[in-house]
Structure 1
């Protein structure tokens, strides 16, 4: 009977001694804390990537708007080009150059 009581007492003592269980619980809680920290860090990196993507989209939209404005300006400039033959333009330039040379010659003659 004493042996039986001693065995039961040993089992009871083992059940009462929760230090091993407490250690396992502490390790599990620490593991959970580490995992939660990793989750927070991952969420932060995800948000940073989303912000980067959003910024890139905004920059792309701004550049697209600038490009459209430049193309519109170019289109307007091309409409301002006076159509005609190059020979007509060259004749005007020759005439203007002749007038310039006559003016220089007149100034030289006046100064002498």
Structure 2
């Protein structure tokens, strides 16, 4: 029984690490898109993305403080990151159409 428990704990740890790496990768993709927008002199887009990024940072802090009591806060953060990426894609598309 103890071997099964040890395996389960390692599996849970592995899944947590994979989830964290996924979050970092997704955030890096979003940040890269924002920096691409800056390179193209899109000040308005930068301001809008900064607002979204600040809201996301506040949410990450909230998730971090709730992580001990809320197992689903990380999953919720992943969904929020996906939504943020979609918004950035839409903003990039709007800026391309405006230019």
Structure whose alpha-carbon radius of gyration is higher = 1
TM-score range, shorter chain: 0.3 to 0.5
TM-score of the two chains, using structure 1 as the length reference: 0.35
Task: Using CA pairs under 8 Å that are at least 6 residues apart, name the structure with larger relative contact order, 1 or 2.
Answer: 2
